[in-house]
Amino acid sequence: MNNIHFVVIYFVILVFILAVLLLAWDKKAVGLSMDFDERQRQARGTAFQYAFFGMFFYEVMNIILSHGFDMQWCDSDTNSMLAISIGVIIFASVSIWKDAFVAFRDNKFRNGLIILIAAVGNIGAGIAHVMEEGITIVDGKVEQLSINLIFGVVFTWILLVWLLKLFMERIEER
């Protein structure tokens, strides 16, 4: 990893800590009520469990394939990002499906719009990155795959699940 990667990691950690502090200080300041009802809290707990075991399973498979069969298809940085992405995808999908992704007093459409912007922005940045630098493959392993592209796929998946859920709800209401 070169210096720019460390700068990005420090920046992300700093933003995360500031967001947590802001959230602890005043939830409304970040525009979230975080007001989940008892069923939603239970559903989110289940979603967290699925996400944890999903990540765990992915990592175990990874260790078995890389150490047991010497099969690695990407570098460790990309692999870590993929593991995190799998966790996020599982958590978001399960909680969206159980109506527990956003607090019940929050505006669903505003959250959908934020996800849409994040998906389009990341996909755009990811494609630009890939077009500029290409996908590096060393010894049959993908190296330094664009983080934006991975996040773009994650947000697009979340958006699709959200839209599907919205569609199912409309059918149910009829």
Partner 1 sequence: MKNLRLKAARAARDMSQQQLADAVGVSRQTISAIEKGDYNPSIKLCIDICKVFQLTLNDLFWE
Q: Is 37 in the site for partner 1 (CB under 8 A)?
A: yes
Q: How far is CA 124 from its chain centroid?
A: 17
Q: Is 28 in the site for partner 1 (CB under 8 A)?
A: no
Range 109-128, binding partner 1 (CB under 8 A): none
- CB of 89 or CB of 102, closer to partner 1: 102
What span, in angstroms and rounded, lies between the C-alpha atoms of 126 and 115?
A: 16
Closest distance of CB 74 from partner 1, Å: 39
Closest distance of CB 108 from partner 1, Å: 10
- CB of 77 or CB of 106, closer to partner 1: 106
Q: How far is CA 104 from its chain centroid?
A: 21
Q: How many CA atoms lie within 13 A of 142 on its CB side?
A: 15
Q: Is 99 in the site for partner 1 (CB under 8 A)?
A: yes
Q: Select the span of 32-40, 71-79, 140-148, 152-160 touching partner 1 (CB under 8 A).
A: 32-40
H/E segment holding residue 140: none
Contact residue for partner 1 among 6, 52, 56, 104 (CB under 8 A): 104
Q: Select the span of 21-29, 34-42, 79-87, 124-132 touching partner 1 (CB under 8 A).
A: 34-42
Q: Is 171 in the site for partner 1 (CB under 8 A)?
A: no
89, 158 Cβ separation under 8 angstroms:
yes
DSSP 139: T
Contact residue for partner 1 among 38, 70, 132, 139 (CB under 8 A): 38
What span, in angstroms and rounded, lies between the C-alpha atoms of 128 and 131?
A: 5
Beta strand 141-143 pairing with 136-138: antiparallel
Range 125-144, binding partner 1 (CB under 8 A): none
Where helices occur in the chain by DSSP H, the ranges are: 3-25, 38-63, 76-97, 108-133, 147-173
94, 54 Cβ separation under 8 angstroms:
no
Contact residue for partner 1 among 19, 22, 39, 167 (CB under 8 A): 39
Binding residues for partner 1 (CB under 8 A): 37-40, 99, 104
